[in-house]
Chains A and B, each alone.
Chain A
Amino acid sequence: MFSLIGLILLAIGGFFELVGAIGILKLPNFYLRVHALTMTYIGGSLVPLIGAALIALERVELGAQRLYVFGTCVIAAVLILILAPTGTHALMRATYFSNTAPKQPLVYDALEAKKVDKEV
């Protein structure tokens, strides 16, 4: 029962990983590629880690060490849940305020006034 749920979560994770990889390759802009990156963070890494933890619970070939694998996967998933938004936001904020990447297909920039205030 657990491993069936785990397999479904792994399938969802594989789908998100492939779609996010295509997005990271094909999207035209850094700020658009961050959208695909966050998709691979949560959909492509957190969900399949929980699925792998559920599969490891019913994996009798591993012996008693399956509980260690379960704990490792759950701890890594919680760490990704905490660290992924903060790390991505810090990277994007630094890129915006240092003008490193071009923001070409941009219609309206609401942060521009705040940036001028910060420089003055």
Chain B
Amino acid sequence: MLVEVALPAVVVVYVASSIIYLARLVLGPTVPDRVLALDALSLDLAVFLVVLSLMLNKPVMAFTVIPLVLWIYAVDIYVSKYLEAKEMGE
């Protein structure tokens, strides 16, 4: 009963913080700032998907979280390799 009330509140909090991350993603003066905002935005999306799948009783939406988390790590590593060595890797 409490869960039905609390899950939409959590969704509201995560959507609000994703708007703030989008502001940093657009404003960010340098490339690492934008990557940082993209990381935070993707993790926000991961938790948002899980909470939404619990709220709507659709478990299919929760399974996409694992590739999303791995993709965040790939973005970090690719961008740091490009910044340090000025190449993307083969």
Point out residues on A near B: beta carbons under 8 Å. Answer: 3-4, 7, 10-11, 13-14, 17-18, 20-22, 24-25, 30, 33-34, 37, 40-41, 44-45, 48-49, 52, 55-56, 59, 61-62, 65-66, 68-69, 72-73, 75-76, 79-80, 83, 86-88, 90-95, 97-98, 100-102
How far, in angstroms, from A86 to B80 measured CA to CA in the complex? 11
Whether B3 contacts A7 by the Cβ 8 Å rule is yes
B65 touches A24 (CB 8 A): no
B62 touches A41 (CB 8 A): no
Name the A residues within 8 Å of B32 (CB-CB): 30, 91-92, 94-95, 100-101
Taking a contact as CB atoms under 8 Å apart, the answer to whether A7 and B2 are in contact is yes
Which parts of B33-82 form the interface with A (CB within 8 Å)?
Answer: 33, 35-37, 39-40, 43-44, 46-47, 50-51, 53-54, 57, 59, 62-63, 65-66, 69-70, 72-73, 76-77, 79-81
How many A-B contacts if CB must be within 8 Å? 164
Alpha-carbon separation in the docked complex, A44 to B66 (Å): 16
Question: By the criterion CB–CB under 8 Å, are B24 and A75 in contact?
Answer: no
Contact A87 B77 (CB under 8 A): yes
Q: B47 near A101 (CB under 8 angstroms)? A: no
Given contacts A24-B24, A40-B43, contact A65 B59 (CB under 8 A): yes
Chain B residue with the shortest CB-CB distance to A80: B69
CB distance A21 to B83 under 8 Å? no
Task: Kindly state the separation between the CA atoms of A24 and B7 in the bound complex, as whole angstroms.
Answer: 25
**Chain B interface mostly:** helix
Q: B77, A21: Cβ atoms under 8 Å?
A: no
| Cα A97 to Cα B86 with chains together (Å) | 12
How far, in whole Å, are A70 and B2 apart by their CA atoms in the complex?
19
Which of chain A's residues has its CB closest to B14's CB?
A17
Whether A25 and B10, one on each chain, are in contact in the complex, defined by CB atoms closer than 8 angstroms, is: no
